[in-house]
Amino acid sequence: MSLVFHQTPERAAIWREKFASARPDMPFHVWPETGPKEDVRYLVAWKTPDDLATLFPNLEVLFSLGAGIDQLNLANIPPGVQIIRMVENSLVEGMIEYVLWAVFSCHRDMFRYARQQREHVWNGSHNRPARLYRVGVMGMGELGSPVLEKLVALGYDCRGWSRSRREVAGVTSFAGEAELDEFLAQTDILVCLVPLTEATRGILNRDLFEKLPKGACIINCGRGGHLVQDDLIPALDSGQLSQAVLDVATPEPLPAEHTFWDHPRIFLTPHIASAAQSDSAAEVVLANLRRYEAGESMTGVIDTGRGY
Ligand code: NDP
Ligand code: OXD
């Protein structure tokens, strides 16, 4: 019974050490080395190799190295293989830091001041307190809920939107398609933290922008596929949106000639909002393996029917 790790050699070195001390009984192979293929029961990967079914005929669990699993080709994963996503503390901490930075920057007009600095313009506006800013987070899961807790603690007027109703203290919650418009109408700074599924692909589009108050900001730290890219620049140029902060794009890396690079109201970061740290991610997988072997349910199980 063995495990194959499919990622960079740098990360593999950390995982190998963790597994050597916690699971000396389990052969740990680093792709493309696999050992006997019929022994492989577990695969840890961001993206999987093609032809999984023939490659590892006895595969039981695929552990995604990401919180999202849209990078996996679900059609390629044999039925019966459980898919587990990464639920890990440093992913949460990183996302909190990123969203707080982006919300502060929108609230305190930092993107405008950065533009003014390039133009040698000294022109400050009177500051408005956090409580006057309505921040809306789409997705109240492992990342969205702790992000909302911190925003509430900082005094922002917060609301969250999810598929089923979620409760976070101090947050007005909205659920499902039926409540999306009401959520949007009360959101000055919109944060996208839903997973990319068939239901959410292209959700950040012209119709949605028009339902936000004029001059709203959007912060996309979900996936590039959430945004209809052709709808963004007209919304920014008309003033319907005043700023976009994009940590994700389609494709990644964004091609050098893409119009987003030079737009004055788009701030781009190269998918760095948060990432699992190798040592704690390895601990999470080790703990899930213990649960699996004991016949208990694992954390981060993907429901392939709903796509997340
Ligand atoms: P979770 O699965 O824990 O939470 C997802 C949330 O989105 C849930 O509240 C869920 O609703 C809601 N949701 C899903 N589908 C819909 C829908 N159709 N309509 C309304 N709400 C919906 O995911 P995480 O919080 O762990 O991660 C969210 C995403 O963040 C990841 O999928 C990934 O794409 C992205 N991410 C980006 C990173 C970056 O560096 N940019 C790093 C890590 C993650 P419900 O509560 O009802 O299930
Ligand atoms: C993730 C990511 O989904 O890094 O974990 O984007």
On whether both 120 and 83 belong to a single domain, the answer is: no
Q: Which domain holds residue 288?
A: 2-88+276-293
Per the domain annotation, does 300 fall within a domain? no
- 304 is a domain residue: no
Judge if 74 and 107 occupy the same domain.
no
Handedness of CA 292, 62, 4, 299 (dihedral sign): negative
- Which of 97, 67, 65, 111 has its CA nearest to residue 268? 111
Which ligand is located closest to the Cα atom of residue 196? 1
Does residue 60 lie in a domain region?
yes
Give me the torsion for CA of 87, 88, 90, 91, rounded to 10°: -10
Cβ of residue 145 lying under 6 Å from some atom of ligand 1? no
Query: How far is the centre of ligand 1, averaged over its atoms, from the C-alpha of 238 (Å)?
Result: 30
CA pair distance 300, 308, nearest whole angstrom:
9
> Can you give the pTM of this predicted structure?
0.97
In-domain check, residue 236: yes
Q: Tell which atom from ligand 2 comes closest to the C-alpha of 91.
A: 5
Structure tokens at 248: 């994700």
Say whether pLDDT at 220 is over 90: yes
Residue 136 has pLDDT above 90, yes or no: yes
Q: What is the reported pLDDT for 50?
A: 87
Q: Give domain status of residue 159, yes or no.
A: yes
Statement to judge: residues 241 and 125 lie in one domain: yes
- Please check whether residue 11 is in contact with residue 29, taking contact to mean a CB–CB distance below 8 angstroms: no
What average pLDDT does the chain have?
A: 97
219, 128: one domain: yes
- Residue 271: active-site member: yes
Q: Name the catalytic one among 11, 166, 223, 226.
A: 223
Give domain status of residue 302, yes or no: no
Atom of ligand 1 at shortest range from CA of 199: 18
| Structure-token match 């699993």, residue found | 69
Q: What is the DSSP letter of 298?
A: P
Note whether 55 and 108 are same-domain residues: no
Same domain, residue pair 172 and 120: yes
* Annotated catalytic residue 258: no
Picking from 275, 277, 285, the residue whose alpha carbon sits closest to that of residue 4 is 285
Residue 77: how many other CB atoms lie within 10 Å: 20
Q: What is the mean pLDDT of residues 103-117?
A: 98
| pLDDT the model gives residue 260 | 98
Residue 199 DSSP code: T
* DSSP annotation of 215: T
CB 73 within 8 A of CB 269: no
Q: 232 pLDDT band (50/70/90 cuts)?
A: very high
CATH number, position 65: 3.40.50.720
In this predicted structure, what is the pLDDT of residue 115? 97
- Please determine, for residue 120, whether its predicted confidence score (pLDDT) is greater than 90: yes
Spell out the alpha helix ranges (H) of 108-203.
110-118, 144-153, 180-185
305 is a domain residue: no
What's the rounded Cα separation, in Å, for the pair 17 and 163?
Answer: 40
220 belongs to a structural domain = yes
Nearest CA to ligand 1 atom 14: 194
| Per-residue confidence (pLDDT) for residue 4, from 0 to 100 | 98
Number of domains in the chain: 2
